[in-house]
Structure 1
Amino acid sequence: MTPLTIATLNTRGCRMAFRRSQVLSFLQEGGYSVIFLQETYTDLTAEDSWWLEWGDRVYFSHSTIRQAGVATLFSPDLWPEVLGVAEAVPGRLLHLRVRIEGLVVNLVNIYAPTSGPEQLQFYQQASTFLGTLDSHECLVLGGDFNTTLEKQDRSGTEQSPATADTLWEIVEHHSLVDIWHDHHPDDTSTFTFVQVEAHRSSHSLLDHIYLSHFHLSRAHSSSIRLAPFSDHHLATVTASLCTERPGPAYWHFNNSLLEDEGFVTSFREFWLAWRGQRHAFPSARQW
């Protein structure tokens, strides 16, 4: 199967016909397979216009509040079997359970509020909802998180530590991996949001795409690029979402074993003996 590209973008409002047309044209030219949009600011009357310009593969969670509304789009070339649709938090969290090439995938598009108290409540709601999903199924969590987990992801200080802690708990509990950070661990200069005001600028990495750790090997590449009519950048991940079993995931040593005296003693004895076996192998790689 040809890999699919998943993209996420805060559109900064697509209610105006001109802006909506420009954004959808940009996304069509990009050839993205699955698109998470935030701050779409739509209602039921807008659906016909979206379907006319994009096609009927658009799913909404409406909101007439300016800083709300999300939509998930599928490219005209992708026809997943939609098994379920849920607006877990109206205008903020849209869940699609789909089957793509035999693989069941939970696509979760989120747009977190900007204020601390509302953020915390939202992530608590999101945590509760994500807990209802089948942990054995592939989970793709993307959108505008409006908070940061790493110091390198922002130019200033995190405004809501309690919110960040709750998001960390979600990431840890569901074994999620931020694909951009996994692919670019040494990049400290790429951001998805830049704000300039009063001769000052701030920047942060607010837009992410997370993937279940078990399915991490499905992700081939990731990128962040400029997008028109928005002060957010477009984040993408290219992955193979099919029933073919993924390759082995990364193995992580259990550091707690270093506190086990029996293990440490046993390993030291093993290593001393194994070093003496080097001559029995034609190459260091085989040894």
Structure 2
Amino acid sequence: MTLRIASLNMNGCREALRRYYAASLAKQHNVSVLFVQETHLPFFSHFSNTSSGVATVLSPNFTPDTVSQVEVIKGRVLDVRAQVGNTAIHLVNVYAPTTDSERPGFLQLLRNHLGGIPEDEFVVMGGDYNCTLDALDRTGKGHCNAKLWGELQALLDPSDLVDVWQLHHPRRRSFTYTRTRV
């Protein structure tokens, strides 16, 4: 079984055109699982309908035997468990807070959740961490201080999680979006 997984920060998907674009992009690239962050939809959001929200979208071509989900942190972390034959895959979609004060508690809750997943089950984690592990992934100063970078790395190491993009493209600088401030 081959899964193609993509992650997209929508910065709001109330408008039909944005949803259509995301669906078209997923179909064009034969994406099996699409992690979406910042949906800004009330049934996917944390505290209000203008912030946060995560959704995990499964392609009609990806047909697990069973699917279950756990909202680990409301509007921030969603774990979709897909059972395919004898293989269980946790598809963990993350939208991390941008404020330094919220991040340590957030990472601890995420660490606790990952620690509770049985070792014989696979974990695929994607999303928007609002922090990068490699300077190649940053433009400008970025949002992540050294302490938080270390905490993110500490979250990944025990679970043998890696940055797949950097693994396959170790020297490539590529961004899906950059914000210019005037």
TM-score (ref. length: structure 1)? 0.58
In the other structure, the counterpart of 2:93 is 109
In the other structure, the counterpart of 1:180 is 165
Q: Distance in 2 between matches of 1:90 and 1:71?
A: 11
Q: Distance in 2 between matches of 1:36 and 1:160?
A: 25
TM-score (ref. length: structure 2)? 0.89
Percent of matched pairs sharing the same residue = 36
- Superposition deviation, residue 113 in structure 1: 1.3
In the other structure, the counterpart of 1:166 is 151
**Cα–Cα, structure 1 residues 150 and 6, in superposed 2: closer, same or farther, change >3 Å?**
same
Task: Please say if 1:16 is aligned against 2:15.
Answer: yes
- Superposition deviation, residue 65 in structure 1: 4.2
- Superposition deviation, residue 70 in structure 1: 0.5
Higher relative contact order (CA 8 A, sep 6+): 1
Q: Distance in 1 between matches of 2:28 and 2:12?
A: 20
Root-mean-square deviation (CA, aligned residues, Å) is: 1.9
- Unaligned ranges ≥5, structure 2: none
Alignment match of 1:67 (pick from 28, 33, 51):
51
- Superposition deviation, residue 103 in structure 1: 1.6
**Cα–Cα, structure 1 residues 25 and 185, in superposed 2: closer, same or farther, change >3 Å?**
closer
Larger radius of gyration: 1
Is the CA contact (8 Å cut-off) linking 1:123 and 1:163 kept in structure 2?
no
Displaced runs of 4 or more, over 4 A: none
Q: Distance in 1 between matches of 2:42 and 2:66?
A: 22
Quick check: which one's strand share is greater? 1
In the other structure, the counterpart of 1:85 is 69
- Unaligned ranges ≥5, structure 1: 45-60, 199-287
- Superposition deviation, residue 161 in structure 1: 2.4
**Cα–Cα, structure 1 residues 102 and 22, in superposed 2: closer, same or farther, change >3 Å?**
same
Q: Distance in 2 between matches of 1:62 and 1:185?
A: 34
**Cα–Cα, structure 1 residues 81 and 185, in superposed 2: closer, same or farther, change >3 Å?**
same
The one-letter code of the counterpart of 1:185 is P
Residues 124-273 of structure 1: matches in 2 within 5 Å?
124-158=108-142, 159-187=144-172, 189-198=173-182
